[in-house]
Amino acid sequence: MKLKTLAAALMLTAGIPLAAQATDLEVTHWWTSGGEAAAVAEFAKAFNDGGDKWVDGAIAGSGGVARPIIISRIIGGDPMGATQLNHGRQAEELVEAGLMLDLTEIAEAEGWRDLVNPVRLLDGCTVDGKIYCVPVNIHSPQWLWLSHEAYEKAGVAVPANWDEFVASAPKLREAGIVPLAMGQQSWQTQLAFDTMMVAVGGIDLYKSILSDKDAKAAASAEATAVFEAYAAARSLSEGSNVQDWNQATNMVITAKAGGQIMGDWAQGEFQVANQVAGEDYTCLPGLGVNEVIATGGDAFYFPKNDDPEITAAQKRMASQMISKEVQVAFNLKKGSLPIRGDVDLTAANDCMKKGLKILADGNILPDGVNVQSADTQGQIQDLMVEFWNSTDITAADAQKRYVAIIEDAD
């Protein structure tokens, strides 16, 4: 008995200096759906195992809700330990204002430039030759998710591309199934549009409009075809009155809807619902037409802090996030692709393998989030969500307004 108390007391005294070294870091992110929360728990586990403490600061909503909160905290002088953002334009001004921690030192020591694949992801983190963020995954929005059960009910084969999907829609309607599930948030309608631009308009059109901001391309006949296809998709989604993307995914999982255009993060939801890729659901990258993916993704930024202990912990977290084990554990749960080419992903499912193959073949595109400013994105989102919800706007009107936005884009 006495021995035990003594041992406990010893442990306690020994534990105190250890705890003093451990640092609490608050991490803000907007990963709150089932699959996302499971993935972020992997980061937290790895960080806690290292002796520090992960203080979870999840912000419900979506990027659009969370980002203003995150940015106003950083600008307002109450920085968190680390935060999720999409790399590229969103944090540009914060970096330029000197509010973010420079990670170049560890990046060079660990040779990030050699192991990050595609290396463009790291470029998104680089401002004036210095690295300010850790890319953690590759997400591509260009996917069509299809419910096998819904097609079985309707008595048609599961489509293999967008045209077949459109052709099968009337059968689904007859069976009382909404052909296309669509959440009513503006970013989702924009995502669908960008995806259809790749599938219907082709890769060159996508690149010249998004990367080069070429207003002539936006006014071209190819773009008109995209708008017409988009208008057709609008009528396919009639009857899907949901808001969040995961509610729309849930319509596909429960066979209330035939399909959904959504990024590969939808995969996490299918996994949580115990669905098997290829058996219960099918995924078509690039809507099955042009098998390419845009390599957007999430990254973690570390706001500058005066406390050297916190800075040290931030650097520990940064190198952990990019390490092999954490990358595998995180991305398997998240349904996204890892940012390094040298990890073993035998556990990956059907859909992830499709993605990995496209990545290995180099069929990649820049993502809108990374090349357009938040301002331009916001205007496009407003236009798309207005178009999607009001049938009196014709495809031609929408295109005219789209061209005007691209003309002023920065």
Partner 1 sequence: MAQTGRPTQLFRNMSAKIAAIPMVLTALVVFVGATLWTVYHSFTKSKLLPNSKLVGLDQYERLWSQNRWLISIENLAIYGICSMIFSLVIGFLLAAMLDQKIRFENTFRSIFLYPFALSFIVTGLVWQWILNPEFGIQKIIRSLGFEEFVFDPLYNPDIVIYGVLIAGLWQGTGLIMCLMLAGLRGIDEDIWKAARVDGIPMWKTYVFIIIPMMRAVFITTLVIIASGIVKVYDLVVAQTSGGPGIASEVPAKYVYDYMFKNQNLGQGFAASTMMLLSVLVIVIPWAYLEFKGERSRG
Positions in the binding site for partner 1 (CB under 8 A) = 64, 67-68, 71-72, 75, 90, 92-94, 97, 184-185, 241, 243, 373-375, 377-379, 382, 385-390, 401, 408
Nearest distance, CB of residue 274 and partner 1, angstroms: 26
Nearest distance, CB of residue 397 and partner 1, angstroms: 10
Which of 97/167 has CB closer to partner 1? 97
Nearest distance, CB of residue 374 and partner 1, angstroms: 4
Nearest distance, CB of residue 390 and partner 1, angstroms: 5
Which of 235/243 has CB closer to partner 1? 243
Which of 343/403 has CB closer to partner 1? 403
Which of 343/374 has CB closer to partner 1? 374
Nearest distance, CB of residue 380 and partner 1, angstroms: 11
Q: How far apart are CA 188 and CA 191, in angstroms?
A: 5
Which of 140/189 has CB closer to partner 1? 189
Nearest distance, CB of residue 211 and partner 1, angstroms: 20
The 10 Å Cβ neighbour count of residue 33 is 22
Nearest distance, CB of residue 184 and partner 1, angstroms: 5
CB 324 within 8 A of CB 183: no
Which of 148/401 has CB closer to partner 1? 401
SS3 labels along the chain? CHHHHHHHHHHHHHHHHHHHHCCEEEEEECCCCHHHHHHHHHHHHHHHHCCCEEEEEECCCCHHHHHHHHHHHHHCCCCCCEEEEECCCCCHHHHHCCCECCCHHHHHHHCHHHHECCCHHHHCCEECCEECEEECCEECCCEEEEEHHHHHHHCCCCCCCHHHHHHHHHHHHHCCCEEEECECCHHHHHHHHHHHHHHHHCHHHHHHHHCCCCHHHHHCHHHHHHHHHHHHHHHHCCCCCECCHHHHHHHHHCCCEEEEECCCCHHHHHHHCCCCECCCEEEEEHHHCCCCEECECEEEECECCCCHHHHHHHHHHHHHHCCHHHHHHHHHHHCCECCECCCCCCCCCHHHHHHHHHHHHCCEECCHHHHCCHHHHHHHHHHHHHHHHCCCCCHHHHHHHHHHHHHHCC
Nearest distance, CB of residue 241 and partner 1, angstroms: 6
Nearest distance, CB of residue 189 and partner 1, angstroms: 9
Which of 34/378 has CB closer to partner 1? 378
Q: How far apart are CA 204 and CA 291, in angstroms?
A: 14
Which of 113/400 has CB closer to partner 1? 400
Which of 389/394 has CB closer to partner 1? 389
